[in-house]
Structure 1
Amino acid sequence: MIGRYLSAMTEVLRRTAGENIRLVRFLYVDHGGIVRGKSAAAARLAERIESGIGHTRAMMAMSMVDELSPVEGMGPVGEVRIKPDPDTFVTLPYAPGAAAMLADQVSPDGTPWDGCARTFLKQAIAELAAEGYELQASFEPEFSLGRHEGASFTPIDESLCYSATGFHLAHDYTIDLVDALIKQGLEVEHYYPELGHGQQEVPIRHATALRAADNHVLLRETARAIAIRHGLWASFAAKPLPEQAGNGAHLHASLWASGTNAFADPSGQYGLSSLGYHFLAGVLAHLPGLVALSCGTVNSYRRLAPQMWSGAFACYGPDNREAALRICSPIGSAGSVNLELKPVDSTGNPYLTLGAFIYAGIDGIRRSLDPGEPLLVDPAVLDPSERDRLSVFRLPSSLGAALDALEADSYLMSVLGALRSTAYLAVKRSEAAHFSGKDVEYECRKHWLNF
């Protein structure tokens, strides 16, 4: 482990010198879902990789509108270090002379800090490994591309979903975006113009859980940066334009053991193994609280509504795109079966989202939970009594309701830990209070600016 770390560090220093890098950004995602960080000068990079950069604990109590929540242990007293992971080093094609690494926040003595979101995902990965499994995952992000003109966001086009016109109008931007992603080691699976005006989708190929979350951060940063260089603006807000389709970031995942997809069973219903059903059932059981993490802003709940293909009801089904959890049909081989979690968007911290998803699935496996019968129709077309009979219920319709569900979920609160869960609830309740009583225009503007 130490040898690998030293080798990665040596490679970072070699590339920094060879590629004339002058500043290296150490990036993390806070509880507000904002990508933040500090940068180290190349001349002191070796020291800063080892020690991290000093940082106030208070930043993990900062909201998406830069309001500081009163959280014990995250005030003006106390220090953490932003410590980068050398394995994540990338030069930034859109920022000549700059590079970046994803970072953990650690205590001054180098030990993990309980307020760090990336550390939470690492803990979930270790817990899953103790059960004998590794999770492969990918986010399926949508974003809106347009022009930032004063207080207005104007989409670049009014093209139809998947239309060739949409490809033409965004072509120059898209090619630059794909090139920049490839140069950072991200494998682009697909690209297409989506339903909303100016809406784009660029899924990245699945990877191990930590890499998948890191990739999602890099994609967000790259899409925004390339847009700026084109005189455009890219927004990952869930509903930057209230009258248009929302931007999701559906999560696809499967469990693997000894090189085999543990979710795949050709003899199982819809090709899913009994292990897969237990995992699915755990996610369903904790989904009301989990969406407080995966749909992390007030604006998220404009998207998370019935018949918006966002998974607004707690249920599952084979290729049911209105169910919160979809069993995806295999593509290419039976081993490609995976689960898709639909109530996810890019305003949620990807490390918290993926970590909580893993922990929920582990709970389902350990307790051999049964998800009940699959739903083969749009849950919104069922009458309420039929939904009750099938135990299909509406997920929280506001950030406040989702936070209440999270706080009531003793298991998720326990795995998050006292400091992290307290800080997250405080930050998100402050955001709910900030936007309470504000009009839709104000809410959407703050979100398309900051995400």
Structure 2
Amino acid sequence: MNAQDVVQLAQQENLRLIRFLYCDNGGIIRGKATQAKKLTSRMREGIGQTLAMQAFTGVESLATVEGMGPVGEFRLIPDPETFVILPYAPNTGSMLCDMIGLDGKAWEACPRTFLKRMIARLAEANMAAEAAVEHEFYLAREELGQFAPADRSLCYSSIGLDEQAKVVDAILAALEAQNISVELFHTELGPAQQELSVEHAPILQAADHVCQVRETVRGVAREFDLYATFAPKPFLDQAGSGAHIHFSLWRTNENGQTQANLFYDPDQRGGFSQLGKYFVGGVLRHIRALVALTCGSPNSYRRLLPHYWSSAYGAYGFDNREGAIRIPSLFSGREADSANIELKCSDHSGNPYLALGALIAAGLDGIKNQIDPGEPQEIDPGNYSDEEREQRGIYRLPTTLNEALDELEQDSVLTEALGPLLATSYIAVKRAEVAFFQDKTPEEETLQHFYKY
């Protein structure tokens, strides 16, 4: 779809507003909306935003970043390929945007542009990436200023499917209307906790889907007087919610068309290739810094606990759901297509463009330097003693966002991939969020994260 197609469709559907959306350094989806009559010029010119918005935190304060104050602007330029009509908002459409400087060039602090740069790195090596995310979230009701789960269903329980059948059906219909195909849906471990998985897509589209799924689930839930939250740990006494990333790497031809899954080798254990192992080696080498981007909130680290199936250690294994990376078993009849890795230490407080871009950067470092990931783990890494884990090179993931940010600052591969402005602004935003919650109770922290995600 091009800009002209978008304008024509908006006119045909009598839209009044078109939202220009982006995901910021705080992991919050923000934006402005243009009146539909101005859409033609707005798509060309963009909508102005102060440079300070990339120093804006998830607690509505401004981090100190040189050049991101009250002076200066960038433009939100929409990608017409992301245009959708919103089923949950009357006469409204939306598009996801890149941040463009006044010189017409991509702004260095744009997360979506960062992912595009990593896609270009892959293309230089005749590779392309695909991904899909498992979206976990809670449905809740507001009671006396607090949130409570909308039901008391059990993990995978059909009772839970019945309890929320109408809202779930409306969510699925709304996603289908936006050409987002849902692969699986089930109730999760917590009461009223849901999980939906969408189909694999080229990596940029996969990141766009993360934003669109979050927007859609929350928007539809409100029509049923419910709140949907993707916060990592919205209830202190219940299971956390992740955004597990399923990722695959593909060989491309000279036209950029995918030809073969580079993670597949029928002669290797589990059908997982040596190149795939090097990619895993790179991710594990940088995992303690990577989680600063994939698990981007103080609330995230209440979820990353041993024996909670959320991953607490930098380990991998075949169908090992306690490792940071799981290599899923292949599906009969489509073995070559189904080879992928699952990154479990990821949640919706991370910006999906930063998370996926950094995952690529870490994995490419593993391929370039042929980093050996070591032996796959056959048991829960948390069941080893400290000495056994040290012998196996298995390290605890950071237990706080501050610790993860320390690791990110020291990781030259990831910071160089991000670039100075994006790395500096992201770390500053996250340090400010850490400082905000230092004197808050766990209950105050969870309540703040509940609504924003």
* TM-score between the two structures when normalised by the length of structure 1: 0.98
CA shift for structure 1 position 151: 2.6
Secondary structure, counterpart of 1:299 in structure 2: helix
Q: For residues 21 and 168 of structure 1, what CA distance do their matches in structure 2 show?
A: 34
CA shift for structure 1 position 148: 2.3
Q: For residues 318 and 64 of structure 1, what CA distance do their matches in structure 2 show?
A: 36
Alpha-carbon displacement from aligned partner over 1:403-446 (angstroms, at most 9, x marks no partner):
00101101111111111111111100110010002101100000
Q: For residues 259 and 151 of structure 1, what CA distance do their matches in structure 2 show?
A: 53
Aligned residue identity for 2:150: I
Q: For residues 144 and 424 of structure 2, what CA distance do their matches in structure 1 show?
A: 36
Counterpart for residue 160 of structure 1:
154
Counterpart for residue 196 of structure 1:
190
Alpha-carbon displacement from aligned partner over 1:73-121 (angstroms, at most 9, x marks no partner):
2111111001100011000010120000000111012210001000000
Q: For residues 431 and 149 of structure 1, what CA distance do their matches in structure 2 show?
A: 27
Secondary structure, counterpart of 1:191 in structure 2: strand
Counterpart for residue 350 of structure 1:
352
Secondary structure, counterpart of 1:189 in structure 2: strand
Aligned residue identity for 2:349: T
Are 2:298 and 1:298 aligned? yes
Counterpart for residue 437 of structure 1:
439
CA shift for structure 1 position 45: 0.4
Counterpart for residue 448 of structure 2:
446
Task: Identify the range of structure 1 (73-82 vs 327-336) with the bigger mean alpha-carbon deviation.
Answer: 327-336
Contact 1:147–1:156 (CA<8 Å) still a contact in 2? Answer: yes
Contact 1:62–1:427 (CA<8 Å) still a contact in 2? Answer: yes
Give the RMSD, CA atoms, in angstroms: 0.8
Aligned residue identity for 1:262: L
Q: For residues 413 and 314 of structure 1, what CA distance do their matches in structure 2 show?
A: 20
Alpha-carbon displacement from aligned partner over 1:132-161 (angstroms, at most 9, x marks no partner):
111010111100101123431110111110
Task: Identify the range of structure 1 (345-354 vs 102-111) with the bigger mean alpha-carbon deviation.
Answer: 102-111
Q: For residues 250 and 40 of structure 1, what CA distance do their matches in structure 2 show?
A: 34
Pairing partner for 1:419 from 418, 421, 445: 421
Q: For residues 259 and 36 of structure 1, what CA distance do their matches in structure 2 show?
A: 37
CA shift for structure 1 position 69: 0.6
Contact 1:27–1:103 (CA<8 Å) still a contact in 2? Answer: yes
Q: Spell out the pairing of 1:320-331 with structure 2 (5 A cutoff).
A: 320-331=320-331
Aligned residue identity for 1:65: V
Q: For residues 149 and 184 of structure 1, what CA distance do their matches in structure 2 show?
A: 32
Are 2:53 and 1:62 aligned? no
- Identity level (%): 48
Aligned residue identity for 1:47: S
Q: Spell out the pairing of 1:100-139 with structure 2 (5 A cutoff).
A: 100-139=94-133
Are 2:253 and 1:259 aligned? no
Secondary structure, counterpart of 2:108 in structure 1: coil
Alpha-carbon displacement from aligned partner over 1:261-284 (angstroms, at most 9, x marks no partner):
110001012211111011111111
Q: For residues 37 and 102 of structure 2, what CA distance do their matches in structure 1 show?
A: 22
Are 2:328 and 1:334 aligned? no
CA shift for structure 1 position 327: 0.7
Q: For residues 317 and 270 of structure 1, what CA distance do their matches in structure 2 show?
A: 10
Q: For residues 350 and 400 of structure 2, what CA distance do their matches in structure 1 show?
A: 14
Counterpart for residue 3 of structure 1:
none
Pairing partner for 1:173 from 167, 174, 188: 167
Q: For residues 418 and 241 of structure 1, what CA distance do their matches in structure 2 show?
A: 36
Counterpart for residue 51 of structure 1:
45
Contact 1:151–1:445 (CA<8 Å) still a contact in 2? Answer: no
Counterpart for residue 187 of structure 1:
181
CA shift for structure 1 position 401: 0.4
Q: For residues 388 and 85 of structure 2, what CA distance do their matches in structure 1 show?
A: 54
Q: For residues 240 and 173 of structure 1, what CA distance do their matches in structure 2 show?
A: 20
Are 2:436 and 1:428 aligned? no
Counterpart for residue 8 of structure 2:
14
* TM-score between the two structures when normalised by the length of structure 2: 0.97
Q: Spell out the pairing of 1:402-417 with structure 2 (5 A cutoff).
A: 402-417=404-419
Q: Spell out the pairing of 1:83-94 with structure 2 (5 A cutoff).
A: 83-94=77-88
Q: For residues 149 and 426 of structure 1, what CA distance do their matches in structure 2 show?
A: 35
Counterpart for residue 4 of structure 1:
none
CA shift for structure 1 position 206: 0.6
Contact 2:270–2:330 (CA<8 Å) still a contact in 1? Answer: no
Aligned residue identity for 2:343: L
CA shift for structure 1 position 237: 0.2
Q: For residues 39 and 267 of structure 2, what CA distance do their matches in structure 1 show?
A: 54
Q: For residues 406 and 305 of structure 2, what CA distance do their matches in structure 1 show?
A: 18
Aligned residue identity for 1:269: R
Q: For residues 260 and 20 of structure 1, what CA distance do their matches in structure 2 show?
A: 43
Aligned residue identity for 1:242: L
The number of residue pairs the alignment matches comes to 445
